[in-house]
Amino acid sequence: MTYKTLVFDFDGTIADTLGETRRIFNLIAPEYGIREVAAHELDGLRHLSLKELLDHLDIPKRRVPALISRGTGMMRGNITQLKVIDGMEKVLFEMRRHVRSFGILTSNTTANVDLFLRTHGLREQFDFISSTSKLTGKSKHLKAICKTFSLRPGEMLYIGDELRDVKASQKAGVPVAAVTWGFNSRESLAASQPDYLFDQPVDFLRLLTGA
């Protein structure tokens, strides 16, 4: 293992939140004059970047912070009912043994993440949970995490399921692993050229061997 710290995204990477996110979005969309998202649209949306997604759904960028705040607040009511991505729990325990620190950087709230992890017996595996209310604010936070833990950018790996996760990591100069079981499609993630592309949680074990 060449990395001292692994930092994970939460929604779609560790927690299976896609269905719940769509349900909540459709509940509050009418209040913001935004159309709902049908289930059959999801496959097509998975190929879009954040900007393309907002444009496709006609969501003004200025509305995004309010939508995130409202949505994550509503998610808290069901957070303990949501599941860990299948196979992820075992991999987290295995990988934690080989690094100095584990963390989470998410657009969700720290309270939601903390409650979810405690529900599934995973909270003690993580040294910190960091949250940003800005969908495009992760690059700044990744740099801050490196500074806090006295890490060179190359000593930390960020792991996420969206194109914006890959973009933020590349902007911060931090290696990134993209996982294909979350929001964005395998094709779109591969085109963004992450350092690693994982199709199932067990693929993380390749980091231990350098394969």
Q: If the chain, 211 residues long, is cut into consecutive pieces of 10 residues, what is the mean pLDDT of each piece?
A: 93 96 94 90 93 90 87 94 97 95 96 98 97 82 94 96 96 97 97 97 88 58
Query: What phi and psi values does residue 59 have, to the nearest 5 degrees?
Result: -100, 115
- Residue carrying the six token digits 């997604």: 53
For residue 211, what pLDDT is reported? Answer: 58
Contact 145, 7 (CB under 8 A): yes
Question: For residue 120, what are its two tokens?
Answer: 């599934």
Strand partners, 104: 8, 129
Cα(161)–Cα(164) distance, rounded to whole angstroms?
9
DSSP codes of every residue in 42-59: HHHHTT--HHHHHHHTT-
